[in-house]
Amino acid sequence: MQKQDGRSTGPRSLQQALLRGAMLKCPACGVGGLFHRYLKVVDQCPQCGESLHHHRADDAPAYFTIVIVGHVVVSLVLAVEIAYRPPLWLHAALWMPLTLALALVLLAPIKGLLVALQWALLMHGFDPDAKEEIGDRLAPPSA
């Protein structure tokens, strides 16, 4: 796998990349860490040098986290309400901490999965044949 500006040129397995991203590892090698802080993606993999700064995650990780956590928590709230009819204070004491904990636990793996998806599908600047991006635009052709 040759490198071109820190971008690998070999074949990319979508399934393997998604698994590595969800495990918070570099989608290219699976060894280096994907984040250097809670949700800050490293510019380059510390292990293999793969450029990872091309990702465009924006609000997608938060959106998918809200969808997943909402479906889990609302289902549990309804099931517990129908089965036990607990007082409202007990609902609040149960579901608010669970919602917060689930969101914090799922946010990083979901962001890692989305970065890996972009890497595996050669989106944005992850394509080794693409020109270097300037902000959200491609660089003008050099003369």
Of the pair 7, 65, the CB lying nearest Zn ion is at 7
Note whether 57 binds Zn ion by CB under 5 A: no
Of the pair 29, 130, the CB lying nearest Zn ion is at 29
Is 41 strand, coil or helix? Answer: strand
Closest separation in Å from C-beta 42 to Zn ion:
9
CA 43, chain centre distance (Å): 15
DSSP 62-128: HHHHHHHHHHHHHHHHHHHHHHH---HHHHHHHHHHHHHHHHHHHHHHHHHHHHHHHHHTT-GGG-T
Closest separation in Å from C-beta 104 to Zn ion:
25
Of the pair 28, 117, the CB lying nearest Zn ion is at 28
Of the pair 110, 116, the CB lying nearest Zn ion is at 116
Pick from 69, 67, 94: which is nearest to 81 by CA?
94
Contact mark string toward Zn ion, 15..54, x via CB under 5 A = -----------x-xx--x------------x-xx-x----
Taking CA atoms, 33 is separated from 12, 30, 116, in Å, by 18, 8, 12
Closest separation in Å from C-beta 8 to Zn ion:
9
Can you give the binding site for Zn ion, defined by CB under 5 A? 26, 28-29, 32, 45, 47-48, 50
